[in-house]
Structure 1
Amino acid sequence: MNKHKLRALILMVGAIFMAFFMVNVTSQASTSRDQGVDWSKFQSNSGVFGYSTDKFVFSQAGGFYGGTNIPQTTYASQVASAQQAGKRVHTYLWDGVGGNMTNAKAMMAYYLPRVRTPKGSIVALDYEDGASNSVSANTDVILAQMKLIKDAGYTPMLYSGKAYLNAHVNTSLIVKAYGNCLWLAEYPDYLVRTKPNYNYFPSMDGVAIFQFTSMYKAGGLDGNVDLTGITKSGYTKASKAKAQANVKQAQAVKKATFKVVKYNQRGVFYPNQALAVRYTDSDKVRQVATYYNGESVIYNAVIIEHDYVWARYTRSNGLYGFIKLGVTNGHDYGKRVTGQLVSHTYYTVKSGDSWWSIAQRNDLSLTTLASQNGKTIYTTIYPGQRLVVR
């Protein structure tokens, strides 16, 4: 094959590849191509918008830095600001856990209950620093975190740069598990850019969002383009309907859970059985309340206090405790209950007190005093704490 034919063949193959690549990007982009911004504490309490055409916002809730969870104080107000502006707002977290599974799970346990964006919305892991030397450990950590995000009812994503991911993470496993879930950054330069330049697209499988500049406007701001419509997660009619259905289902479960234990009648309660309360006063209230998982317990008293019903129970290990069964008024719960079926005498701990001194003062044994407060004699007590002594 002569040089001219070879050169023509190379050019043709190159053109076919670029055409295929651009068709792929274009087909993804046709799903959305909405643009939006991402914020951290540097964008102030209200955030900084790029342009009126922006459709979505990512706000940083905090992250794991230097061995500890550090929340961003601007997160709640930024979410509120974006919602007020009519933007689809999502959450991201600085994921500096490296390959440490314990820290990774602790981080998610800390932040997931603090997410303020809607169920179904994105919770992205910002994984761009602190990776361990083990690709498998880093990958396992990310997969575990993304599963926790999904199990909590959110849409998991992974943010980073292409080079960093290639060096430290097996992204093929991430994409295999979660599909188009990557949010990748690649900047052609540091000039102000209002639109993405797809010649600098970070060509990897599974890219859903392309962060195309850190100079979206003069002064600096990250600009992102949604290639797949993923930023609509949590904001479609279907997702809202699903969320409402989940709430109704949870409420239905709550109202149908506990069914019949009589006041002062000892009876064994096991998980998945129902518990309610029949009172001895004239109102004859039936109580419906939230289900609590746990070991078998014996309920031997019911206390009505401040419009809540408390059941005192004995756990199978012999310790005592109290469980709040729910409100006693409102149309779902029957008539309001009045009166006090079981009364207690409380002692407020003072400086210098101990289990022994309080027990002696109230003619109790150490173990009885501790157990009837749901504690052991080795539990630390503090001034101001209230203990049941009768």
Structure 2
Amino acid sequence: MKKLKKVAIAAVVGLGLFASASPAFAAVGDQGVDWAVYQGNQGQFGYGHDKFSISQIGGYNGQGIYWQSTYASQVQSSIAQGKRAHTYIWYQSVTNTDLAKSILDTMLAQVQTPKGSIVALDVEDGVANTDVILWSLQYIKDRGYTPLLYGYKHFLTNNLDLGRISSKFGLWMAQYPDYNVTPVPNYNYFPSWDNIQVFQFTSTYVAGGLDGNIDLSGVTDNGYKNGNPEKPNTETPAIEAGKEADHVKGNAKEVGMTVKVNFSSSAYATGETIPDWIKGTSYKIIEKSGDKVLLDGIMSWISIYDVETLDASTSAPVVSTGQTHVVQYGENLSGIAVKYGTTWQELARVNALSNPNIIYPGRTLSVSGSQLASKVGVCVVQYGDTLSSIAAQFGTTVERLVSANGISNPNYIYAGQVLNF
């Protein structure tokens, strides 16, 4: 989960208290992850036994509503891998019900996870109001979803009447002793409180950082029949879309394309296990035979459906002066600029955008220029990447990457950032 700040606060709880508070549902003990834009378009699971994801759709940052462009594809990817997908909303300084209603009406209309699934409010910064939070959680419940309140115990207890809230609604509580790699929860640091249904026990689930969570009550089954994501209680756009989440689909992947091995892939065509270090790393397809491919640096046949392409599959259109673009859900200024052969800085200038990071679905943008955008590649930054390593991978230069992406500090890029090349 993308947080404005991380804290590690220790509070000891007896294991007996934890065990007695957990009813016997199918998903009790299931582990999973939560994702924001920093985990990239399809996110990443920490371990093969992970069963659920919770993705940020966007939210309110104290100044305005914003969207996370990675939300829909993360949900699609999670469901396509047979995981249970859920949703959370950043909820900072929401202090009255009129504002709350506006935010929730906007967000809930775009939720891609099934009815009954979790829609959590992430309250960990700014001003918090107990009555508004209670109203908001009930509003989510009335619209057919499972509401949870997320936060750190220290912040929630200092800023809210948490007892009033937990008596009516479940909590998703975060607390961890340090930032060492932690693959399983340490209940010596469990944040003792009533009605904690999901425990976030680390922000370093794997090396490089990833939030790890454990389901204490079976709540991550909600929205899915018998825990089976192929048979949700109600249809969601992500179910079918998730099966084709790659930039280039299925057997259309060709020699020369840049790909990475899906985290859900398990075995080569020979039956040998694919090592974890191979997954998520970029490779070139050097040979193709039927529905199998050889990747440069691996040299063992792998199913074409087990690799995700990084190559863009379409070219941008020709733009005539004075053309406009209506912002669609999930778009950001950089992506729109690529489509029209311009830069996000130019779009911000022409449209007098005071905050280029916040654009709203339905807004009409003026698009300047009359140029043809050549076919543009897209790279999602992975943990450990640098501009020089990305430039080498994709046959470009650091200077071109800096220019194409408006990077002010070439030494600072982050995992999940989308770069054009």
Query: Does 2:206 match 1:217?
Result: yes
Aligned to 2:30: 34
Once the two structures are TM-superposed, the CA of residue 101 in structure 1 deviates from its matched residue by 2.3
Cα deviations across residues 153-200 of structure 1 (Å, max 9, x unaligned)? Answer: 10000000001111111122212223xx10000111110010000000
- Of the three residues 110, 132, 136, the one matched with 1:141 is 132
Question: Structure 1: which 5+ residue stretches go unaligned?
Answer: 1-16, 133-137, 245-390
Counterpart of 2:141?
A: 150
Distance 1:215 1:41 in 2: 17
Against the structure 1 CA distance between its residues 98 and 167, is the aligned structure 2 distance closer, same or farther, given a 3 Å change threshold? farther
TM-fit CA distance, 1:243: 4.0
Q: Using a 3 Å threshold, how does the CA distance of structure 1 residues 238 and 55 change in structure 2: closer, same or farther?
A: closer
Residues 26 and 65 of structure 1, relative CA distance in 2, 3 Å threshold: closer
CA RMSD of superposed structures (Å): 2.4
Counterpart selection for 1:112 from 101, 108, 115: 108
2:117 pairs with 1:128: no
Contact 2:87 2:120 in 1 (8 A): yes
Residue of structure 1 equivalent to 2:57: 61
Displacement of 1:109 in angstroms is 1.1
Q: What residue number does 1:207 align with?
A: 196
- How many Å apart are 1:21 and its aligned residue? 2.1
Match 2:14 to one of 6, 15, 18: 18
- Alignment match of 2:46 (pick from 50, 55, 60): 50
What residue identity is the alignment partner of 1:175?
S
> SS of the counterpart of 2:109?
helix
Q: 1:129 to 1:85 in 2, by over 3 A?
A: same
Distance 2:232 2:102 in 1: 31
Q: Which amino acid aligns with 1:200?
A: Y
CA 1:30–1:243: 2 relative to 1, 3 Å = closer
Alignment match, 1:4: none
Checking the alignment, whether the CA contact within 8 Å between 2:27 and 2:219 is kept in structure 1 is: no
Check the 8 A contact 1:28/1:227 in 2, yes or no. no
Contact 1:97 1:104 in 2 (8 A): no
| Structure 2 residue 156 is the aligned partner of structure 1 residue 165 | yes
The counterpart of 2:174, out of the listed 185, 189, 210, is: 185
How does the TM-score come out when normalised to structure 1?
Answer: 0.54
Deviation, structure 1 residue 123: 0.1
Q: Specify whether residues 242 and 190 from structure 1 end up closer, same or farther in structure 2 by C-alpha distance, changes over 3 A only.
A: closer
Q: Aligned equivalents of 2:69 and 2:195: distance in 1?
A: 32
Q: Supply the AA of the counterpart residue of 1:145.
A: S
Secondary structure (helix, strand or coil) at the match of 1:177 reads: coil
Deviations 1:133-152, CA, capped at 9 Å, x for gaps: xxxxx111111111111111
Matched, 1:85 2:76: no
Tell which has more relative contact order, 1 or 2 (C-alpha 8 A, sep 6+). 2
Q: Distance in 1 between matches of 2:15 and 2:122?
A: 31
Do 1:29 and 1:227's aligned partners in 2 also have CA atoms closer than 8 Å?
no
Counterpart of 1:103 in structure 2 is 99
Alpha-carbon distance in structure 1 between the residues aligned to 2:125 and 2:64: 15
Deviation at 1:117, TM superposition (A): 0.3
Aligned residues: 222
Q: Structure 1 residues 86 and 114 mapped into 2: Cα distance closer, same or farther (>3 Å)?
A: same
Alpha-carbon offset, residue 85 of structure 1: 0.7
Q: Aligned in 2, Cα 1:238/1:61: closer, same or farther, shift over 3 Å?
A: closer
- What SS does the aligned partner of 2:14 have? helix
Amino acid of the residue matched to residue 161 of structure 2? Answer: N
- Matched residue SS, 2:125: coil
Kindly indicate whether the alpha-carbon contact (under 8 Å) linking 1:185 and 1:211 is maintained by their aligned counterparts in 2. yes
In structure 2, how many angstroms separate the alpha carbons of the residues matched to 1:19 and 1:193?
Answer: 18
Structure 2 unmatched ranges of 5 or more:
1-12, 236-421
TM (normalized to structure 2)? 0.50
- CA distance in structure 2 between the aligned counterparts of 1:237 and 1:22, rounded to whole angstroms: 24
Task: Give the partner amino acid of 1:75.
Answer: Y
Query: What is the CA deviation profile of residues 53-91 of structure 1, one whole-angstrom value per residue up to 9, with x for unaligned ones?
Result: 000000000010132110111101111010111110000
Q: Distance in 1 between matches of 2:109 and 2:211?
A: 27
Query: 2-side partners of 1:100 and 1:60: how far apart?
Result: 22
Moved over 3 A (4+): 17-20, 25-31, 237-244
* 1:36 counterpart SS class: strand
Q: Counterpart amino acid of 1:81? A: S
